[in-house]
């Protein structure tokens, strides 16, 4: 619990009945403690020994009192008493006296529990899972739920739960009377009934749903059924009719959809990982998850598992849109990590600790870089774009605005699912259309990038479109929120390099996490970049961001230090007092620095400037060199400095050059 909501003397929780009062010295005590202290002579503050003057006339601390009344809920039986427990099902509050007569297992102890966050998250999750059942007016109230008191949050959540008790017709929005066993649709009296429609009041409904669900499940590739549905199928008898109808609809969707989700990362024939886009998986026309790579499909005409013959020309590649975890079906981004199991299936980092959907338990070391699926990493790097509101992977796209949205931000919007559209084709065609519109404003550098557009990742294509869109307005204009930025120039150094980010944002007018890097000269700001390589390399140079608009700027110094703190050994020193000019300066060391495998190193440098170009956190690239060498970034043991651009988000160090 927040200590500001406790009395500092008795340590009891402050409530609307145990109101806090402000002393002359500024400290606040509950009314009981103040009454006890005021009986003493002299009356002194227990925290600072300041004499309390006229305790009866002291005012209440209305700031704390307002917070208290906003957060607390009342006992349903004793309305003047603050509730200490909350029923998970009925959402009724109970005080300590009432809970002694109830079953503790159904209640949440509200002490040290963030009730506000729990209620908001539950309401949003229910709304997302049941969008058709929640009225528009109630959906709008849920969106504003963060600002309401806990009492109002509970009332809204009760309204949401009440909406779920009625099964609505998907076509007319009326109360449902029948269910169509062919497609799982709920029908009302206004709908045209078919021979496969069964009344929701039928006594045989539950049994018929059981038979229908198990029949569909037997015809669906089991590896395409998400883990949570597989678990529900095992206890299908215990489910109510609404839950069974929901499971039926999900199974029918899986059965009727041409799957664009690939859950396996290795070929069933050669056991090698697929690669994008050169060696994609092919699904064979036989039972089970029998998938082979394009190379094996060209060199064989039989399934390596059951021997069934196939004709290569009749096979189709997986039209992979996004890299999904085979268990939770969430996108495997850089945070969740696509972990490759020994069975060939790919899980996110969270699901890799659970039992695999193949039925086996695989011991996977999620910290081992070799456990990460390279194929899924390729898919993520090449195909995924980011939500316009944050850095999470986008699952939906708005072609008219050329913006991506995650599944939460997509609620209530008429958007296209990325897995159902040709996103790459849309991005390419829109970039060419925009280039024709701007005509002679297309610079030679942009024309060169347009010619190389097919090799760009989807994220880089989208960024390139926004760059073309903003050529008609000054990029550095004050308040230019839509300026996505300039692409970092190709390096002049002909050696391996890693590139932390794909673009820089040259807008000096707004100091925020997505604008140019502000260097505080008054604080003598020093940048620290901590990294390690998974192979032994020789660091030969770096790329440093330059001041925007070609203003004066100097790289004061740059050191490479072995270890993750300033106590390490100095390995190399870049030439000092280097003038920074352009967008990015490629700077080489006099002597290469040996970077030992799995050994942490610091790059410590100081730039004398106000604003410099910076990496764009919306298109952060993986730390992987041109030759495949993988890197990892850490927070340096250097408090008070700007480590990796504050929180490993961005900063002036753009590239590392190295050789092996």
344-382 pLDDT, tens digit each = 777 777 777 666 666 666 666 655 656 778 888 888 888
Q: Give pairs for 144-152: CB < 8 Å, separation 24+.
A: 145/119, 145/120, 146/116, 146/120, 149/69, 149/70, 149/71, 150/70, 150/71, 150/72, 150/73, 150/115, 150/116, 150/119, 151/73, 151/74
Q: For residues 382, 383, 386 and 388, what is the CA-based torsion angle, rounded to 10 degrees? A: 120
pLDDT in tens, 51-91: 888 877 788 887 877 777 777 888 877 877 788 888 877 77
Report the C-alpha gap between 512 and 514 in whole angstroms: 6
- Grouping H, G, I as helix, E, B as strand and the rest as coil, residue 397 is strand
User: 502 or 480, which is more confident?
Assistant: 502
pLDDT at position 258: 42
Longest Cα–Cα distance in the chain? 99
Mean pLDDT of 332-344: 73
Report the C-alpha gap between 304 and 600 in whole angstroms: 45
Tracing tokens 């528009």 back to the chain, one arrives at: 136
Do the beta carbons of residue 430 and residue 465 sit within 8 Å? yes
What domains does the chain contain, in order, with CATH numbers?
A: 3-71 (3.30.40.10), 178-256 (no CATH), 281-383 (no CATH), 422-472 (no CATH), 487-659 (2.60.120.820)
Mean pLDDT of 229-252: 77
- Grouping H, G, I as helix, E, B as strand and the rest as coil, residue 139 is helix
Tell me: pLDDT of 476 over 50. no
pLDDT at position 595: 92
Tell me: pLDDT of 288 over 50. no
Do the beta carbons of residue 292 and residue 273 sit within 8 Å? no
- Grouping H, G, I as helix, E, B as strand and the rest as coil, residue 186 is strand
pLDDT at position 646: 47
Q: What percent of the chain has pLDDT over 70?
A: 76
Q: What is the pTM of this model?
A: 0.38
Tell me: pLDDT of 482 over 50. no
pLDDT in tens, 127-139: 777 776 677 778 7
**277: preceding bond cis by omega (within 30 degrees):** yes
Q: How confident is the model at residue 537 (pLDDT cuts 50, 70, 90)?
A: very high
pLDDT at position 500: 67
Mean pLDDT of 623-629: 80
pLDDT at position 355: 66
């Amino acid at each position: 619990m927040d200590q500001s909501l406790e009395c500092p003397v008795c340590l009891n929780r402050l409530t609307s009945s145990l109101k806090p009062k402000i002393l002359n010295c500024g400290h606040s005590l509950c009314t009981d403690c103040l009454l006890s202290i005021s009986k003493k002579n002299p009356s002194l503050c227990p925290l600072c020994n300041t004499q309390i003057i006229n305790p009866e006339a002291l005012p209440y601390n209305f700031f704390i009192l307002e917070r208290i009344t906003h957060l607390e809920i009342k006992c349903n039986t004793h309305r003047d008493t603050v509730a200490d427990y909350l029923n998970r099902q009925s959402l009724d509050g109970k005080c300590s006296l009432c809970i002694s007569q109830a079953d503790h297992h159904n209640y949440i102890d509200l002490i040290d529990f963030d009730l506000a966050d729990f209620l908001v998250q539950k309401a949003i999750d229910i709304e997302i899972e049941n969008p058709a059942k929640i009225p528009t007016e109630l959906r709008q109230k849920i969106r504003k739920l963060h600002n309401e008191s806990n009492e109002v949050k509970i009332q809204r959540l009760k309204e949401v739960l009440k909406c779920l008790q009625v099964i609505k017709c998907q076509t007319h929005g009326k109360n449902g009377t029948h269910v169509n066993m062919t497609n799982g649709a709920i029908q009302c009296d206004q709908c045209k009934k078919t021979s496969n429609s069964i009344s929701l009041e039928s006594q045989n409904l539950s049994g018929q749903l059981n038979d229908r669900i198990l029949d569909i499940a037997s015809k669906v590739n089991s590896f395409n059924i998400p883990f949570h549905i597989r678990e529900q199928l095992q206890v299908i008898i215990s489910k109510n009719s609404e839950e069974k109808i929901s499971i039926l609809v999900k199974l029918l969707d899986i059965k009727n959809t041409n799957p664009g989700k690939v859950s396996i990362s290795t070929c069933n024939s050669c056991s090698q990982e697929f690669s994008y886009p050169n060696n994609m998986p092919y699904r064979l026309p036989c039972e089970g998850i029998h998938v082979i790579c394009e190379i094996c499909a060209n060199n064989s005409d039989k399934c390596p598992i059951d021997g069934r013959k196939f004709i290569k020309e009749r096979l189709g590649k997986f039209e992979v849109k996004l890299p999904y975890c085979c268990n939770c079906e969430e996108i495997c981004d850089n945070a969740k990590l696509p972990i490759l199991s020994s069975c060939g299936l790919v899980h996110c980092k969270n699901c890799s600790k659970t039992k695999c959907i193949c039925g086996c338990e695989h011991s996977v070391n999620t910290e081992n870089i070799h456990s990460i699926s390279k194929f899924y990493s390729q898919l993520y790097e090449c195909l995924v774009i980011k939500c316009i509101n944050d850095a999470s992977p986008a699952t939906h796209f708005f072609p008219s605005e050329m913006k991506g949205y995650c599944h939460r931000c997509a609620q209530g919007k008429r958007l296209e699912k990325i897995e159902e559209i040709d996103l790459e084709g849309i991005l390419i065609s829109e970039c060419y259309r925009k280039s024709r519109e701007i005509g002679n404003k297309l610079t030679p550098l942009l024309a060169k990038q347009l010619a190389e557009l097919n090799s760009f990742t989807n994220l880089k294509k989208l960024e390139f479109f926004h760059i073309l869109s903003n050529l008609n307005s000054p990029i550095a204009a004050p308040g230019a929120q839509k300026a996505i930025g300039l692409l970092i120039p190709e390096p002049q150094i002909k050696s391996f390099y890693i590139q932390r980010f794909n673009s820089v944002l040259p807008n000096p007018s707004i100091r925020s996490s997505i604008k140019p890097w502000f260097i505080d000269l008054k604080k003598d700001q020093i940048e620290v970049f901590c990294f390690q390589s998974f192979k032994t390399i020789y660091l030969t140079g770096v790329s440093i961001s330059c001041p925007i608009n070609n203003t004066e700027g100097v790289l004061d110094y740059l050191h490479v230090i072995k270890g993750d703190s300033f106590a390490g050994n100095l390995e190399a020193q870049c030439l000092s007092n280097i003038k920074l000019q352009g967008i990015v300066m490629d700077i080489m060391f006099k002597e290469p620095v040996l970077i030992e495998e799995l050994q942490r190193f610091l790059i410590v440098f100081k730039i004398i400037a106000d604003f410099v170009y910076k990496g764009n956190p919306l298109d952060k690239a993986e730390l992987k060199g041109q030759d495949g060498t993988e890197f990892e970034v850490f927070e340096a043991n250097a408090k008070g400095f700007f480590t990796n651009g504050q929180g490993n988000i961005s900063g002036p160090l753009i590239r590392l050059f190295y050789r092996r």
